[in-house]
Amino acid sequence: MADPKKTSADLKARAAQGSYRVQAARAKGDEAPVKAPQSPKRGTRMVPLPSDGIVPERDVHATPVLECRHLGIDFGGLHAVEDFNLIVGKTEIAGLIGPNGAGKTTVFNLLTKVYQPTRGTILLDGHDTAGKSTAKVSQMGIARTFQNIRLFSSLTVEENVTIGLHNAIGCGMWSGIFRLPRYWVSEKEFHDRSLELLDVFGMAGLAHVQAGNLPYGAQRRLEIVRALATGPKLLLLDEPAAGMNPSETTELMENIRKIRDQFQIAVLLIEHDMDLVMGICEGIAVLNFGRIIAKGTPDQIQGNPQVVEAYLGASAKEA
């Protein structure tokens, strides 16, 4: 869980200054302040869709990878998520932010069918996921990582990735039980593919290391590789920078962009680290008390008084 005071202070400072880049330039002692870009990836323009949403211009003619319409879930009398509408473009890096308890993880649990929604619709790449199981939506193209690392710590790095591949492809029960030729071909394919995926993050050399023995940052990277092994169209990252030091966070930001560029998939991330969110997200949605209170580009979100108020309100209550 993030420090709400730090997050609020970050957001307030940025809202006041209008640009985190100006702040960074001043901190480095640069003479001329750097002008904030319209969106984090230079040249990316967010375009409104006829429905309620914005997507990167490059995705405007593609089916959105995710479309949530009037999504909601109740826990007893608590409307944990209410009237949640969100569109994520085919190759967009999108952010879902909000104070602690706002409903962010609940949204991920709805998207992955850990919870079935009380109301509303979720379209994944244009297909309705109503009534589908977690396993089914995984096959349909959603993968996620969790706030707390959930690796098989006694298995090797490679075995952790292979499990993701098995989930996606499988080699058939009888081939596996009777070790038919198809099984061995699959195992060889899985081995090669695991190393290929690990290599994206410079981890192929760690394939035989026990996952539990990896340093923290590497365990977080491995979780992402394992999620990628399932062949997703949409990767959900729940607080990927939690517990990371600044250099690990910078590396993570590069890796997230690399994933989008190399695999041509979309990423939706929950994160309290505003440097990461404002640095890589193209579209951002802000949740408070289960409802979206703002949507837009990083510049629009940083300058939104309702957003600053939501974070300051949370911070003030904790103080």
Ligand X SMILES: Nc1ncnc2c1ncn2[C@@H]1O[C@H](COP(=O)(O)OP(=O)(O)OP(=O)(O)O)[C@@H](O)[C@H]1O
Residue 210 DSSP code: B
Q: Per CB under 6 A, does 315 bind ligand X?
A: no
Nearer to ligand X, 81 or 207 (CB): 81
DSSP 172: -
Provide, rounded to whole angstroms, the least separation between the CB of residue 285 and ligand X. Answer: 12
Asked if 95 is part of the footprint of ligand X (rule: CB under 6 A), the reply reads no
Q: Which of 54, 102, 197, 285 binds ligand X (CB under 6 A)?
A: 102
Q: Give the footprint of ligand X on residues 105-164 (CB under 6 A).
A: 105-106
Spatial distance between the Cα atoms of 1 and 239, rounded to a whole number of angstroms: 8
Parallel, antiparallel or unpaired: strands 283-288 and 93-97? parallel
Strand partners of residue 296: 284
- Read off the DSSP letter of residue 50: S
Tell me which stretch binds ligand X (CB under 6 A): 18-26, 93-101, 125-133, 309-317.
93-101
* Strand, helix or coil for residue 238: strand
| Pair type for strands 127-128 and 119-124 | antiparallel
The residue range among 21-29, 39-47, 100-108, 252-260 that interacts with ligand X, by the rule CB under 6 A, is: 100-108
Q: Does 100 bind ligand X (CB under 6 A)?
A: yes
Q: How buried is residue 119: exposed, middle or buried, by Cβ count under 10 Å (0-12/13-18/19+)? A: middle
**If you search the block for the tokens 């977080």, which residue do you land on?**
220
Interface region with ligand X, contact rule CB under 6 A, candidates 37-45, 94-102, 206-214, 275-283: 94-102
What is the total residue count of the chain? 319
Region from 8-16, 26-34, 103-111, 292-300 binding ligand X, contact rule CB under 6 A = 103-111
Q: Which is nearer to ligand X, 39 or 304 (CB)?
A: 304
Between residues 105 and 167, which has the closer beta carbon with respect to ligand X? 105
Burial label for 246, CB within 10 Å (0-12, 13-18, 19+), is exposed
User: What mask, x for binding ligand X by CB under 6 A, covers residues 45 to 84?
Assistant: ------------------------------x--x-x----
Among 43-51, 84-92, 95-103, 211-219, the segment contacting ligand X (CB under 6 A):
95-103
Contact between 98 and ligand X per CB under 6 A: yes
Cβ atoms of residues 65 and 127 within 8 Å? no
Q: How far is the CB of 60 from ligand X (least distance, A)?
A: 30
Q: For ligand X, which stretch binds (CB under 6 A), given 41-49, 82-90, 99-107, 118-126?
A: 99-107
Q: If binding is defined by CB under 6 A, does position 7 make contact with ligand X?
A: no
Shortest Å distance, C-beta 56 to ligand X: 25
Alpha-helix runs per DSSP H in the chain: 4-17, 20-27, 104-111, 134-140, 157-168, 173-177, 181-200, 216-228, 246-263, 274-280, 298-302, 305-318
- Return residues touching ligand X (CB under 6 A): 1, 75, 78, 80, 98, 100-106
